[in-house]
Structure 1
Amino acid sequence: MIREATPDDIPVILAMIGELAAYERVPEAARATEPQLREALFGPQPAAFALLAEADGAPVGFALWFRNFSTWTGTHGIYLEDLYVRPEARGGGHGKALLAALAKICTDRAYERFEWSVLDWNEPSIGFYRSIGARPMDEWTIFRLTGEELHHLADTAEANGA
């Protein structure tokens, strides 16, 4: 069963975020707190949304997503930030069900894109994504600014009167 997350799901979502970070070999990177997730998912202006996969009434996976926007198509899309299924539930169709639910949100709302990133060493996930028809955007490279570099660039905006 796939359902929208509720505020009561914050602790289990946070736990699965930690499990995902450990799987991706960066457990120290998962620093989000329950108050931060509560505000992001259920505050007055939600920044993100979450779906839960359940088996026998217990949460076994989640998808956390937000809307993006394409200037080329003039439409919103979905960016899937996290997709995670607990190891004991993998192979049970929960990941595909979560992706299908997000695809339905896209088609119901006339969003033209559904995108996400995957670590290049995560061959099981890459194979799974290809099996449902997703294709890599090989000609694109993701860039990220964080930490000192982010603050340095922000300081140049202030220096320029922004």
Structure 2
Amino acid sequence: MAVDVRWATTGDAVALGVMLCEMAVHYRQPPLDSERAMAAARKWLGEESPAYQHFALAFVDGEVAGLASVAIAHPGIDLERLLFLKDLFVRDHARNAGVGRALIGFLASHCLSEGIGRIDLTTEDWNEGALRFYAQLGVERHGQKIFLRLSGEALAAAAKS
């Protein structure tokens, strides 16, 4: 099965919207309204500069099969930038067919070509499939950091301070 991976463009809003809806269900969130997801995808893809990519999409036979949502952070170790992989998601019917590996390979190649020194990522502790997948890639568990979140009322309070 040939997997085509590329950076998402404004023409990929529908594909990105489909992925956002399926991700919400997979990550045990309430289902998203598809129109709302499509509107968000159009907005996000339309406002980004070409030099900074947020989404890589994987296609199999022209149908969207996977998504990587990323951010580039400065500086990393020894002044090298890092790529933070926020989400890697492969649709149920395309799992175990090389889509995830193709997305990671695409991101790794991008890092090497752009002088980005590493990929950092997180996954839920209950997501055993993701943990197995990352272990097969040689991803090391890095116990030096604790994942924290500022949201809701605490976010609003921080904005006022």
Q: Is TM > 0.5 for Structure 1 vs Structure 2? A: yes
Shift of 1:3: 1.9
Report the CA distance shift for 1:44/1:18 in structure 2 as closer, same or farther (over 3 A).
Answer: closer
Q: Is the 8 A contact 1:21 1:29 kept in 2?
A: yes
Shift of 1:27: 2.6
Q: Could you say what secondary structure the match of 1:73 adopts? A: helix
> Which of 11, 14, 17 matches 1:14?
17
Counterparts of 1:6-155 in structure 2 under 5 Å?
Answer: 6-27=9-30, 33-43=37-47, 45=49, 48-155=53-160
Shift of 1:29: 7.8
Q: Could you say what secondary structure the match of 2:149 adopts? A: coil
Shift of 1:111: 0.6
Distance 2:33 2:156 in 1: 21
Cα RMSD after superposing both structures: 2.2
Shift of 1:39: 3.9
In structure 2, stretches of 5+ residues that fail to align are none
In structure 1, stretches of 5+ residues that fail to align are 157-162
Q: Note the alpha carbon deviations across 1:51-101, whole angstroms, 9 max, x for none.
A: 111111111111121111235421211111221111001111000100010
Q: Is the 8 A contact 2:7 2:53 kept in 1?
A: no
Q: Is the 8 A contact 2:76 2:82 kept in 1?
A: no
Q: Could you say what secondary structure the match of 2:57 adopts? A: strand
TM-score, normalised to structure 2's length? Answer: 0.86
Higher RCO (CA-CA < 8 Å; seq separation 6+): 2
Supply the AA of the counterpart residue of 1:120: D
Distance 1:39 1:48 in 2: 14
- Aligned twin of 1:160: none
Q: Note the alpha carbon deviations across 1:102-140, whole angstroms, 9 max, x for none.
A: 001111111111111100010111011011111122221
Report the CA distance shift for 1:126/1:87 in structure 2 as closer, same or farther (over 3 A).
Answer: same
How many residue pairs get aligned? The number is 156
Report the CA distance shift for 1:23/1:68 in structure 2 as closer, same or farther (over 3 A).
Answer: same
Distance 2:77 2:57 in 1: 31
